[in-house]
Amino acid sequence: MHEIKANLYPCKHCNETGTCTTGKDGSSCHACAKIHELGKNQEYFGLSCAACNGIGQAEPKTERINKRIKPILAIGTVFLLLTFIFALALTGNVHFPEFLAFSGTLIGSITAFYFTHCKNA
């Protein structure tokens, strides 16, 4: 499998403990209570931190988005092209052979990239 490297930074919300104590009198804050789907009007103690999911180390949201956007775009592109191919084939469009050549090449290159992508560590 691919080794996914995460850049984790010390969580400032829970001071690297994994337990939220940033509320009133050391209780958990309202944001962490909301993530755990608890009521706002009560004080809760010992809830896991919502910023780092209770591990004390947080990964910035922009890094998570940057790691996931390429595969999501690739999957979306492949499914969109396959949908267009199917639709053009059903309707008997005169440009079907040209579109099939274009989309087949694009789908093949995306598939080759993800299944033969070799990382030298």
Give the residue from 68, 89, 79 showing the smallest Cα distance to 111: 79
> Binning pLDDT at 50, 70 and 90, where does residue 121 land?
very low
pLDDT tens for 5-55 read: 777 888 888 888 888 888 888 888 888 888 878 877 788 888 888 888 888
* SS3 at position 86: helix
Considering the entire predicted model, what is its pTM?
Answer: 0.57
Give the residue from 3, 2, 4, 22 showing the smallest Cα distance to 12: 22
Q: What is the mean pLDDT of the chain?
A: 84
- The pLDDT score that the predictor gives to residue 62 is 81
